[in-house]
Amino acid sequence: MRKSKTKINKIYSLDLVIIDEIGYLPINREKANMFSQLISALHEQTSVVITSNKGF
């Protein structure tokens, strides 16, 4: 848990976060919720670019 918290804090300190190939692998509801929370937390602190070649 401590290691995860350190990684999350590092992500929050970045100027730009690029998430590539979203949708490449299926994710369950819990992981989708965690991803949504991450994006919500990031959108006011940093620039976020999300790319995919898959339709949703």
Query: What digits encode the pLDDT tens for the residues 1-56?
Result: 678 888 888 988 999 999 998 878 888 999 999 889 989 989 888 999 999 887 65
Reported pTM: 0.70
Write down the pLDDT at residue 18: 94
What does the DSSP assignment read for 8-28? HHHHHH-SEEEE-STTSS---
Compute CA 26 distance to the chain's CA centroid, rounded to the nearest angstrom.
15
Is residue 24 a contact partner of residue 54, using CB atoms and an 8 Å limit? Answer: yes
Write down the pLDDT at residue 21: 86
